[in-house]
């Protein structure tokens, strides 16, 4: 077996936390040979609920689970952390302006970034799930100047997985037939799921579907799937979001398959005209514990406009948090 990995989950008593913790503890996050030490961070009112989840984790007798610590102190939560899953966030309440939402989340993700900077393990890797995920990740990253920026990522794997299944169902194929799917931009309704580089059975997906389906059904279905889940389930995506977080980190540690890539919100190096430093979704490969942005893809006008619109939204969010003094 490998050395144990300390995994901190914030918002552990929430609905994604409940769907996530059991899968981490069973070994699905990193792999079957890596013991896990769990740290659960919650706000004081929710610590008791997190303790209840910890009782259930005990009752699973997971062979890989070495310890569970529960805290409402951010520095305690991130001391020695190898993997930080930042799930807890401030949701938008009725009548809240976007600036207020960003401000409230800055109050969460700034201190968490600072705590990661101060006390996390040298190899710390961070995935931000809590919305607005890209900009929350940017805020946390900005507060951790001693941690390589590339260790801060935002989750668009759920959007990626949604896109895989929508396309598979349209073409009547298994998701395993599909490679090189990409989500570009922000994890929001402006995101751009790109079928012009996606391959199905070795041929470009966009050439196997009608343009009208691609533009008027596929893209909006993927981009608005979160709202459709709320409408149907009466609650937002939880198990699928937890599944995507598992996929993201598992890929980060274990790599992408030869000839394939995945989607993740990573710090831009300026590729594809995305301003350097923004945390935007790109096609990425992973190997040796690092994500790398896939280079050299060409975009037609249709794709370019959509990428630019989503990246433009990220720029606005960044400018707002900058004006608020949160970066």
DSSP 175: G
Residues 154-173 within binding reach of ligand NAX (CB under 6 A) = 155, 158
187/306 with CB nearer ligand NAX: 187
Residue 14 has, within 13 A of its CA and on its CB side, a CA count of: 23
By the rule CB under 6 A, 138 interacts with ligand NAX: no
Stretch that binds ligand NAX, among 24-32, 88-96, 170-178, 270-278 (CB under 6 A): 88-96
Query: What's the closest the beta carbon of residue 61 comes to ligand NAX, in angstroms?
Result: 25
Cis upstream peptide for 132 (omega within 30°):
yes
Other C-beta atoms within 10 Å of 309: how many?
Answer: 14
What's the token pair of residue 315? 């720029």
Which of 7, 124, 129, 267: binder of ligand NAX (CB under 6 A)? 129
Which of 9, 16, 114, 126: binder of ligand NAX (CB under 6 A)? 16
Which of 42, 194, 247, 317: binder of ligand NAX (CB under 6 A)? 42
By the rule CB under 6 A, 130 interacts with ligand NAX: yes
- C-alpha dist (Å) from residue 309 to 66, 182, 302, 322: 46, 16, 11, 20
By the rule CB under 6 A, 121 interacts with ligand NAX: no
- DSSP SS3 for 256: coil
C-alpha closest to that of 134 among 94, 184, 200:
184
Stretch that binds ligand NAX, among 37-45, 60-68, 250-258, 277-285 (CB under 6 A): 37-45
11/200 with CB nearer ligand NAX: 11
Are the C-beta atoms of 182 and 188 separated by less than 8 Å?
Answer: no
Residue 187 annotated to the active site: yes
Strand order, beta sheet including 199-200: 178-179, 199-200, 203-204
By the rule CB under 6 A, 47 interacts with ligand NAX: no
Residue located via tokens 């979160």: 226
13/249 with CB nearer ligand NAX: 13
By the rule CB under 6 A, 241 interacts with ligand NAX: yes
Query: What's the closest the beta carbon of residue 282 comes to ligand NAX, in angstroms?
Result: 15
- DSSP SS3 for 242: helix
How many helices (H) and strands (E) in the chain?
11, 14
**Alpha-carbon gap, residue 207 to 298, rounded angstroms:** 16
C-alpha closest to that of 244 among 129, 132, 90, 100:
129
- Give the pairing of strands 262-267 and 203-204: unpaired
By the rule CB under 6 A, 21 interacts with ligand NAX: no
Report which secondary-structure segment, H or E, holds 111: helix 98-119
Which of 30, 108, 144, 284: binder of ligand NAX (CB under 6 A)? 108
Nearest residue to ligand NAX, using CB?
A: 14
Which of 11, 106, 185, 193: binder of ligand NAX (CB under 6 A)? 11
Query: What's the closest the beta carbon of residue 129 comes to ligand NAX, in angstroms?
Result: 5
Q: Which residues are part of the catalytic machinery?
A: 187
Which parts of this chain interact with ligand NAX (CB under 6 A)? 10-11, 13-17, 41-43, 46, 87-89, 91, 108, 129-131, 133, 155, 158, 187, 226, 236-238, 241
């Amino acid at each position: 077996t490998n050395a144990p990995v300390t995994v901190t989950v914030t918002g552990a008593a929430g609905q994604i936390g409940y769907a996530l913790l059991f899968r981490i503890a069973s070994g699905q996050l990193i792999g079957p040979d890596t013991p896990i030490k769990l740290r659960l961070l919650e706000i004081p009112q929710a610590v008791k609920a997190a303790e209840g989840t910890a009782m259930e984790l005990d009752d699973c007798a997971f062979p890989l689970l070495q310890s569970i610590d529960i805290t409402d102190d951010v520095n305690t939560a991130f001391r020695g952390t190898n993997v930080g899953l930042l799930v807890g966030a401030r949701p938008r309440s009725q009548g809240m302006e976007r600036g207020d939402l960003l401000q409230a989340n800055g109050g969460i993700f700034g201190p968490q970034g600072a705590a990661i900077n101060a006390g996390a393990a040298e190899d710390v890797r961070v995935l931000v799930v809590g919305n607005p995920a890209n900009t929350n990740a940017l805020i946390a990253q900005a507060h951790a100047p001693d941690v390589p920026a590339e260790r801060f990522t935002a989750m668009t794997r759920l959007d990626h997985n949604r896109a895989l299944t929508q396309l598979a169902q349209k073409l009547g194929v298994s998701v395993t037939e599909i490679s090189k799917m990409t989500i570009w931009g922000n994890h929001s309704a402006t995101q751009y799921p790109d079928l012009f580089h996606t391959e199905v059975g070795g041929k470009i997906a966009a050439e196997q579907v009608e343009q009208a389906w691609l533009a008027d059904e596929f893209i909006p279905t993927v981009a608005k799937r979160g709202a459709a889940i709320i409408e149907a389930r009466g609650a937002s995506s939880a198990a699928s979001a937890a599944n995507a977080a598992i996929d993201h980190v598992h890929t980060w540690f274990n790599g992408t398959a030869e000839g394939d890539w995945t989607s993740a919100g990573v710090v831009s190096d300026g590729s594809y005209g995305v301003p350097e430093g923004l945390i935007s979704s790109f096609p990425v490969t992973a190997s040796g514990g690092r994500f790398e942005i896939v280079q050299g893809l060409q975009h037609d006008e249709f794709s370019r406009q959509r990428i630019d619109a989503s990246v433009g939204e990220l720029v606005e969010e960044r400018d707002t948090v900058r004006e608020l003094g949160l970066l």
